[in-house]
Amino acid sequence: MSFQTPVVTERPAATTAIACSPWAPLVAIAGQKQIVFYHSESGDLLGIVPFEEGIAQSLRFSRDGAFLIAGGGEHAVRGLVAIYDVRTGDRIAQVGDDLDVVFDADATSSLQQVALGGPQRMLRIFDTNSGERLFDLKKHTDWIMSVAYSPDDVLIASGDRSAGLVVWETATGREYLNLTGHKGSINAITWRSDSNVLASGSEDGTVKLWDVFSGKQIKSINVGGPVTDVAFGHDGKLVTATRNGRTTVWKPDGSKVKDLPAAPEAVLDADLSHDGQRVVFGDWNGRVVNVKLDQPDQQQILASNPPEVSVLEEQFQKRLSQQQGDLASLAPRHEKLLQKLQQAEAAQKEAENRLNAAEQSAQKASEMAEQNLATAKELASSIEESAKQSRDLQDELTAIRIGLRDGEKTPQQVAQQENEFGNALIKLAGQRTRRLECLDESKRLATEAEKQKKSSEEIRSQMPALQGAVAKARQKFDEVESQKQTVEAILKQLASRLDRLHASVK
């Protein structure tokens, strides 16, 4: 979208139309022979599209937010509806050939149909692709001030200067409802997102909610002044603008949420942001205010008459230099906090490694101690068996020695038995020695396991402090990192806008 300003004026004209995108922080404002786009959160100028035919009296985003429908023109000269691609600013379609200005216009979700109303007192519906007029709906007896399709495209409503309010079938053009009850000009109409409720704002100081199935009035809200605009938000809240300078947000049940700061002149248009957190409203003096509901005293002023490209370039260059300075000042702090974070993470990692090592050593020592105890238990059973065998061999040796004395055994038999008995004693001694070694080793390993467990408990007790240090260091680093990324994003956006400024000049 270009930044080329079709008309440069010292002061803005009265605010004729404002529209907030349903899905993005984007707001469009009508100016003299132009429509200006702003970021509704930062207040940054995003682009300008020409409306050479005059002034847009009506702005509406398409249901998906990708297109802008603008109706307007010049009194007693020409009226039309133009559709713009929001991403590029290109005018993709244009319908209408009225000899007077269009007061309000809307399009179906598919943009296949466009409806417009104005001083000719007929609701005129066109085929967008061919430009062919589909219907001229004659019911109104006065200027048509407001037009709106239901979100489901089934119905279209229109209101006139003599309190006439009619709902029509989109497909056939047949009258569906004739809603009576207002006593003054119906300056604005809006549909709830479910298409079941229509709200109408009138010069009689009321906003009426209508059940479109029964045609009955659900509620009448006395807003305290002649209503110039009314708009539904996604959550069913309403915003109203009045000629006595008041902009008010209402709950779906009609109870008041908040009065926004009063304007010095009549507020002519108002809309809720995509998230329902902001209201953008403009008055007779051309002052357009962007205000956050929970911080109503902090206001951004959005100009419907931006300066020429050279002034914008100077402003962008100044902001670019400021942001570059901010980024440079953040660099040392960012680096220092990164080093602190890395040091804290390294200390935590080292403690985790020591804890894992101590726990593994304790586990291994405990397992080995258990193994040695099991081996000692097995050896105790073997020792008992070996001791029994040794006693038996000793008894046999004694008997053989008696037999040798009596001449019944030979010295060789005595020697053989003594050898067997000696081997049994040696085996028994080895088993006893091995059992004692296993018991000693088990005791040593149990002591080592307890030592490692105490060490792991001590390290574990230090972990919360180390984790807290990491969390604190990360929080501080993330804060600066977020600031750095924000500044870098702004720098990128400003560079892109400067490129578009230069392209606009070329």
Q: What digits encode the pLDDT tens for the residues 239-282?
A: 999 999 999 999 999 999 999 999 999 999 999 999 999 999 99
Collapsing DSSP states into helix, strand and coil, what is residue 143? coil
Residue 238: the pLDDT is: 98
Percent of the chain with pLDDT over 70: 100
Amino acid of residue 348? Q
Kindly state the tokens that stand for 223. Answer: 């807003």
Mean pLDDT of the 388-406 span: 86
pLDDT cut 90: percent of the chain above it: 79
State mean pLDDT over 451-475.
Answer: 93
Q: At a CB cut-off of 8 Å and minimum separation 6, what does 457 contact?
A: none
Q: How far apart are CA 455 and CA 202, in angstroms?
A: 79
Query: What distance in Å separates the CA atoms of residue 19 and residue 56, rounded to the nearest whole number?
Result: 11
Query: Looking at the predicted structure, is the pLDDT value of residue 210 above 70?
Result: yes
Summarize the confidence of residues 487-496 as an average pLDDT.
90
Give the β-pairing of 256-259 and 247-250.
antiparallel
Query: Cα dist. 445→224, 331, 378, 440 in Å?
Result: 88, 54, 19, 9
Fold for the domain defined by 323-495? Helix Hairpins (1.10.287)
Helices (H), 6-48: none
The whole-number average pLDDT for the span 171-178 is 96
The tens digit of pLDDT for each residue in 185-207 reads 999 999 999 999 999 999 999 99
Beta-carbon count within 10 A of 42 CB: 13
- Please name the residues in contact with 182: beta carbons below 8 A apart, sequence gap of 6 or more: 159, 163, 165, 200, 202, 204, 206, 208
Mean pLDDT for all residues in the chain:
94
Per-residue HEC secondary structure of 193-207 comes to: CCCCEEEEEECCCEE
Q: What is the pLDDT of residue 61?
A: 98
The CA distance from 204 to 225, in Å, is 8
Give the full edge-to-edge strand order of the sheet including 197-202: 186-191, 197-202, 206-211, 217-222
- Residue 506: the pLDDT is 62
| pLDDT value of residue 14 | 96
User: How far is Cα 414 from Cα 392, in angstroms, rounded to an integer?
Assistant: 15
Q: Could you report the per-residue pLDDT of 43-83, keeping only the tens digit for each?
A: 999 999 999 999 999 999 999 999 999 999 999 899 999 99
**HSE on the CB side for 83, CA within 13 Å?**
27
Q: Do domains 18-305 and 323-495 have the same CATH topology?
A: no
| pLDDT at 126 exceeding the cut of 70 | yes
Tell me the C-alpha distance between 304 and 59, whole Å. Answer: 13
Q: Are 137 and 125 in contact (CB under 8 A)?
A: yes
Average pLDDT on 339-359 reads: 94
Give the global pTM: 0.75
H/E element, 260? none
| Residue 23: burial class (beta carbons within 10 Å; 0-12, 13-18, 19+) | middle
Query: 94 is written with which tokens?
Result: 């244009």
Residues 8/50, Cβ–Cβ less than 8 Å: no
Other Cβ atoms closer than 10 A to 52: 10
Could you tell me if 51 and 34 are in contact, meaning their C-beta atoms sit under 8 angstroms apart? yes
- C-alpha closest to that of 201 among 181, 171, 172, 215: 181
Distance (Å, rounded) from C-alpha 139 to C-alpha 166?
A: 8
| Residue 97 reports pLDDT greater than 70 | yes
Q: What are the tens digits of pLDDT across the range 293-348?
A: 999 988 999 999 999 888 888 988 998 999 999 999 999 999 999 999 999 999 99
| The CATH homologous superfamily of the domain defined by 18-305 | YVTN repeat-like/Quinoprotein amine dehydrogenase (2.130.10.10)
At 316 the pLDDT is 87
| pLDDT attached to residue 39 | 95
Q: Radius of gyration of the chain from Cα atoms?
A: 45
Distance CA(114)–CA(368), nearest Å, equals: 86
For the chain, the domains span 18-305, 323-495
Say what the pLDDT of residue 417 is: 84
